[in-house]
Chains A and B, each alone.
Chain A
Amino acid sequence: MKPTLPLILAMMLTAPAFARDNTPAGSATAGSAGSAAVNGQSASTLGAGAVSNSPTSSSQAMGMGASAAGDNARTRSAVHGNNNLNGNAMAMAHEGGDMARSHTVCHDRSDSASCKTKTMAHEPGSQPEKSTSEGTATIQ
């Protein structure tokens, strides 16, 4: 039985670590971005989120950005929350019926980070052009 004790100690030191509340240890980052443009109106948004868990601590960070150019350009960005972060970024520019719009939403959870961006460009007489991009990472 002599090898048992060192073995147990070794297992305690090296076993896969799980942070508080059974959160898996590791790191995850995710981001998404998008742009839309039509007839001089352009809008771009992006978001990037990071989650890092160690056996003793957990940390999250998120950045959001929005940019628009053209007539009637509007942008808005925000990050809310403490342990679960939620981010929003919106950009829009329009003139008459021409409109470019982009919207990004990001979430940082205890074991994952995800971002999703939707864009739309529209001009009169045409169907709106839409796109979606998404990034997700989960700590295994």
Chain B
Amino acid sequence: MTRLSMAAFLMCLAATPVFAQASTSVRAGNLSGTATAGVNNGPTDNDRDHDQQVARGPRTDDTRDCDSRSVTVHNGNSSASASVSTSPGGSSTVAGGGSPGSHTEFFGCDAPHNRSTR
């Protein structure tokens, strides 16, 4: 391979798209939310801990004075996900959605032994 070809090849390698993971976390009052996009190698220990903490009941709508609730959205290939959770008190609602093939799971406050999906 000529020197020029090698240089071009190296430039191509440098231009290879890097599917790095991007993540954003926001918090306000007793709300917290996280969005993650990019290559995902499956749930982390933190994800599992968070999931266990918030898995308390089925999806509900507006409910007052209940335990925390949350929603998580995972795309089929786990490349995009978002989650929102609330802590107890007051009135709270959460909502989630994703592109086709995504999995949305709600955790509510009225039936502590069930989880629901849609």
* Chain A positions near chain B (C-beta within 8 angstroms): 3-4, 6-7, 10-11, 14-17, 25-35, 42-52, 54-55, 57-70, 73-83, 85, 87, 89, 91, 93, 102, 113, 115, 117, 135, 137
**Knowing A60-B75, A65-B84 touch, does A31 contact B95 (C-beta < 8 A)?**
no
Q: Which residues of B contact A80 (CB under 8 A)?
A: 97
Answer whether residue B55 sits at the interface, using C-beta atoms and an 8 A cutoff: no
The dominant DSSP class at the B interface is strand
A38 → B minimal CB distance (Å): 13
Q: Are B72 and A63 in contact (CB under 8 A)?
A: yes
Q: Which residues of B contact A137 (CB under 8 A)?
A: 22, 24
Q: Are A75 and B98 in contact (CB under 8 A)?
A: no
Q: Are B29 and A42 in contact (CB under 8 A)?
A: yes
How far is B96's CA from A80's CA once the two chains are assembled, in angstroms? Answer: 9
Q: Which residues of A contact B98 (CB under 8 A)?
A: 59-62, 85
* Chain B positions near chain A (C-beta within 8 angstroms): 1-2, 5, 8-9, 12-13, 15-17, 19-38, 62, 64, 71-77, 79-86, 89-102
**Knowing A33-B33, A59-B76 touch, does A68 contact B90 (C-beta < 8 A)?**
yes
| B74 closest partner in A (C-beta) | A61
15 additional contacts, CB 8 Å, given A7-B9, A33-B31? A10-B9, A14-B16, A33-B28, A48-B84, A49-B82, A59-B101, A61-B80, A63-B33, A65-B85, A67-B93, A74-B62, A76-B93, A80-B97, A83-B99, A85-B97
User: Can you give 11 contacting A-B residue pairs, CB < 8 Å?
Assistant: A27-B20, A29-B23, A31-B26, A46-B33, A48-B33, A49-B35, A52-B75, A59-B79, A59-B99, A64-B84, A77-B94
Q: Are A48 and B34 in contact (CB under 8 A)?
A: yes
How far is B25's CA from A115's CA once the two chains are assembled, in angstroms? Answer: 12
Q: Which residues of A contact B19 (CB under 8 A)?
A: 25-27, 52, 54
A123 → B minimal CB distance (Å): 19
The dominant DSSP class at the A interface is strand
Q: Which residues of A contact B5 (CB under 8 A)?
A: 3-4, 6-7
| A67 closest partner in B (C-beta) | B92
**Knowing A29-B37, A59-B77 touch, does A77 contact B93 (C-beta < 8 A)?**
yes
